[in-house]
Amino acid sequence: MNFIKMQGLGNDFIFIIDKEENYLKDEIEIAKKVCNRRFGIGADGLVIIRNSDIADAKMIIINSDGSKANMCGNAIRCFAKYLYEEGIVKKKNITIETGDGVKISELFINKDDKVDLVRVNMGKPSFKGVDIKLNNKDKLIDEVVEINNKRYKLTSLLMGVPHTILINNNNEYSMEDGKIIEKYDLFKENTNVNLVKIYNKESIEVRTWERGAGATLACGTGCCASLVALNKLGLCESKAKITTLGGNLIVEIVNDDVFMTGEATFICSGVVLN
């Protein structure tokens, strides 16, 4: 089984082509195997490239624990770069079918015909409890929640996948808090958790505990969700630089749509032997 490994801000993925959906017979077990950092290649997730009836290609994402994700911001930038540089789709604006609908990726291509940056329309966020899959709650915006005798002020929204934002200006929270919040019974299908530090209204830092993957160096949808939440609370402008452990993104809100711009990089290619 041939693969290519890519990363976006340190969020790494194994890419496999299965256009006709007849190559991978047990994709969940394959994802858990190849993503294992001791006994496999090692990655935060498996990304499968398939044909689409409504877009240039279809992106399937399976987290390292075998759970599926509707959307991933860092993966989709890698996906668009892969399609272009491997000659699968030679267009500067590529449409990609995801579990969260069709996303449009704009490629910034250099004189060597390589992709420097990818700008993705991530779509519209939602603060509705029914979309986030909250238990018996219409919304969760700047609200104190007590979990295991510890108080957290949380804001949750759907940005392709559910995200919960926790302001962490004084470093009072850690990834262990993210792990606890992820599985809190308020969230029917669990939640991603973002610890956010505000530098100023145009610059923030985001650390993410990802549902199904744990602590990662960066999360594209998490960065987008963090900007949207802070903007709604009046703490951030509609465009900001987002700093993560793996690098930086530019995120902006334009007419209620959220746009994310950042890099994507090839790491290696090879063959899975067994």
Q: How far apart are CA 256 and CA 258, in angstroms?
A: 7
Q: How far apart are CA 260 and CA 105, in angstroms?
A: 10
Supply the pLDDT for residue 10.
94
| Catalytic (active site) residue 72 | yes
Report, as an integer, the average pLDDT of 40-54: 96
Report, as an integer, the average pLDDT of 85-108: 97
Positive or negative torsion for Cα 212, 215, 217, 223? positive
Q: Residues annotated in the binding site for substrate, as ranges?
A: 11, 63, 73-74, 192, 210-211, 220-221
Supply the pLDDT for residue 131.
97
| Catalytic (active site) residue 35 | no
Read off the pTM.
0.93
Band of residue 22 on the pLDDT scale cut at 50, 70, 90: low
Among residues 35, 78, 219, 224, the one annotated as catalytic is 219
DSSP category for residue 222? H
**Domains delineated in the chain:** 2-121+262-271 (3.10.310.10), 129-255 (3.10.310.10)
Among residues 72, 78, 224, 236, the one annotated as catalytic is 72
Band of residue 235 on the pLDDT scale cut at 50, 70, 90: very high
